[in-house]
């Protein structure tokens, strides 16, 4: 095997790296590089120059995190749209309920005739409060189709409230019960301008208020009953 010069080695190095030189040329070049540090360095540099750089490693979790965030945002948008739709329906229903409640509140009924029977109490003009015994002495002219009885305080046991329609004699037409949870009752569907009386069974000292006007809560409750 004939020795080669550094110039010959420089010419052979590209062929050597590509694997295209003959076996004799390969052996001669390797023998030359074993003895020549300069050609070894040139070979190493040429090898580095010809070897493609490895692509930068991508974070394997980046794409997954981005996709998860995108899915989360889509779910959040869908939930938000659904919530807005539900709130819209609830708001529309609430408007209907409040509207019906206001209509009920604004139904005072016909005015009581100026020619009231002697001793009759006009509930359109005012409400009456007192003990059940004191309230029972009144004859009420409601001027409306309803009459409300509420208690300020109640004994432990429920009490029975009776509504009497007063003509020539008293006729018990309706009965309701008041207790710790239900401290008011509403008598409805009364003939307009009916004369009525209210009594409580066995509890003459219970403090009552009798009126024809409704509170918003009472009107709302009546509206729900009419649905």
> Does residue 217 contact residue 135 with C-beta atoms inside 8 Å?
no
Q: Which CATH architecture has domain 120-216?
A: Sandwich (2.60)
pLDDT, greater one: 198 or 1: 198
pLDDT for 175 beyond 90: yes
pLDDT of residue 110: 43
> Does residue 1 contact residue 31 with C-beta atoms inside 8 Å?
yes
- Going from N- to C-terminal start, the domains of the chain cover 6-50, 120-216
Give the percent of the chain with pLDDT over 90: 12
pLDDT for 96 beyond 50: yes
| pLDDT tens, residue by residue, 40-58 | 888 888 888 876 555 545 5
From the list 49, 48, 20, 46, the residue with the least C-alpha distance to 33 is 46
pTM over 0.75: no
| pLDDT tens, residue by residue, 3-34 | 788 888 888 888 888 888 788 888 888 888 88
> Does residue 124 contact residue 107 with C-beta atoms inside 8 Å?
no
Dihedral pair phi/psi, residue 53, rounded to 5°: -70, 140
């Amino acid at each position: 095997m004939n020795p080669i010069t550094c110039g010959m080695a420089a010419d052979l190095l590209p062929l050597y790296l590509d694997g295209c030189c003959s076996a004799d040329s390969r052996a001669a070049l390797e023998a030359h590089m074993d003895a020549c540090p300069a050609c070894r360095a040139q070979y190493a540099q040429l090898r580095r120059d010809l070897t493609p750089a490895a692509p930068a490693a991508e974070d394997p979790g980046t794409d997954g995190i981005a996709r998860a965030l995108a899915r989360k945002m889509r779910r959040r948008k869908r939930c938000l749209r659904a919530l807005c739709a539900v709130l819209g329906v609830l708001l529309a229903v609430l408007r209907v309920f409040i509207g019906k409640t206001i209509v009920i509140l604004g139904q005072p009924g016909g005015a009581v005739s100026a020619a009231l029977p002697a001793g009759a109490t006009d509930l359109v003009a005012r409400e009456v409060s007192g003990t059940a015994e004191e309230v029972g002495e009144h004859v009420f002219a409601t001027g409306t189709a309803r009459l409300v009885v509420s208690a300020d305080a109640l004994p432990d046991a429920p009490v029975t409230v009776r509504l009497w329609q007063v003509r020539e004699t008293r006729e018990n037409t309706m009965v309701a019960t008041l207790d710790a949870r239900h401290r008011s009752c509403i008598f409805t569907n009364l003939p307009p301008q009916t004369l009525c009386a209210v009594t409580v069974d066995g509890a003459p000292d219970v403090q009552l208020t009798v009126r024809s006007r409704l509170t918003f809560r009472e009107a709302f409750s009546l509206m729900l009953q009419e649905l």
